[in-house]
Amino acid sequence: MVRKPLLVLASGLGAVALLASCASGDTTAATEPAGGGETITVEHALGTTEIPADVERVATIGWGNHDVALALGVAPVGVDDQTWSMDGGDGLGLYDWSLEAYEELGAEEPVIFDTADGTDFEAIADSEPDLILAGYSGLTEEEYATLSEIAPVVAYPEVPWYTPWRETIRIDSEGLGKADEGLALIDDLDAQIADAVADEPAIKGKKAAFFFINAADLSTLSVYATGDSRTAFLGDLGFDFPQVAVDAAAEGSFYADISAENIDQLADVDVIVSYGDDSMLEALQADPLWSTLPAVQNGAVVTVGLGDAFSGAVTPTALSIPWMLDDYVALLGDAAAKAE
């Protein structure tokens, strides 16, 4: 699934570098405390955090927060490994788009925090951060309290593990004292998305959702709710959502389990997006229940791999969006065209 990632990343970074060079150091959230030194105040789900303006050493935990910092020209000194979605044999534990950004910035490779056993407090403390970014994470109140003793912490805006990529950029960039650059980055990514989908008119108005399907056992499936960042990104690309994804969100869950016996509840899905490889469509078409779905009959099934970089990239981050956008949109456009 390698598709000229270098080129995509380079163009994305170029745009970011341009933005960074013309943006000012002011932030909308900045205040002037009595002491005279500038302090940034960020509000999030776990409290209000005061951050000194002269932050130099940034640590990030959770998913994709390091990519926000990197996109804004700050190379974190320590990063959570991203292995929950990738193969453990992949060296440093970061994806290419992040590693290349480190290279681009001429920065040293970060210390990788081990996530196998929860938050790696010792390694985080050892990296001596001035700021810990966790805008997209699952921090608990206890973890937040412990981390706050190490350095100021920016947690998620509302719900753990449920932060859309724009919100991740917004809150992390506020913490970095680069709120304006953050907004510019969002605008830039939105422009890239608009460009990419302009050539795929078939997407508009089709209903798509992100699924978890186990090819070895097709008797059940999971569908991610509309607010989950994977499904939400399909919405960013112009898709509408099927009822099951809307209902799951309304029930406050980030996914819904459905038995294949109730496969007709998915009849309004035009495009199925799922982890897995090319054999998935064949398996679905061979299954008596799945094969009753129009999306399966039409072959409108997009598989994004499993455990490889592309399957990680589709949970969008500030840097993974430019890295995967054209390829992903092309796959989705093809599938949407089949749904006609």
37 binds another protein (CB under 8 A): no
- State in Å, rounded, how far the first CA of the chain is from the last one: 26
CB of 286 to another protein, least distance (A): 10
Q: Which of 148, 214, 243, 298 binds another protein (CB under 8 A)?
A: 214
The one-letter amino acid at 162: Y
Half-sphere exposure of 30 (CA within 13 A, CB side): 18
Out of 27, 49, 60, 83, the residue judged to bind another protein by CB under 8 A: 83
Please enumerate in sequence order all residues whose Cβ is within 8 A of that of 168, keeping only pairs 6 or more positions apart, or say none. 64, 65, 68, 135, 136, 317, 318
Part of the chain binding another protein (CB under 8 A), chosen from 85-93, 133-141, 196-204, 329-337: 85-93
Per-residue contact flags (x/-) with another protein for residues 89 to 108, judged by CB under 8 A: --------------------
The Cα 92–Cα 99 span in angstroms is 9
Encoded tokens for 236: 């960013």
Residue selected from 28, 31, 259, 297 as contacting another protein according to rule CB under 8 A:
259
Binding test (CB under 8 A) with another protein, winner from 22, 149, 216, 340: 216
* DSSP output for 225-252: -TTSHHHHHHHHTT-B--HHHHHHHHTT
| Alpha carbon distance 124, 8 (integer Å) | 32
Nearer of residues 89 and 106 to another protein, judged by Cβ: 89
Q: Counting contacts by CB under 8 A, is residue 218 touching another protein?
A: yes
Among 145, 262, 282, 294, binds another protein (CB under 8 A): 262
Residues within the interface to another protein (CB under 8 A) = 83-88, 116-117, 214-220, 256-265, 288-289, 292, 306-307
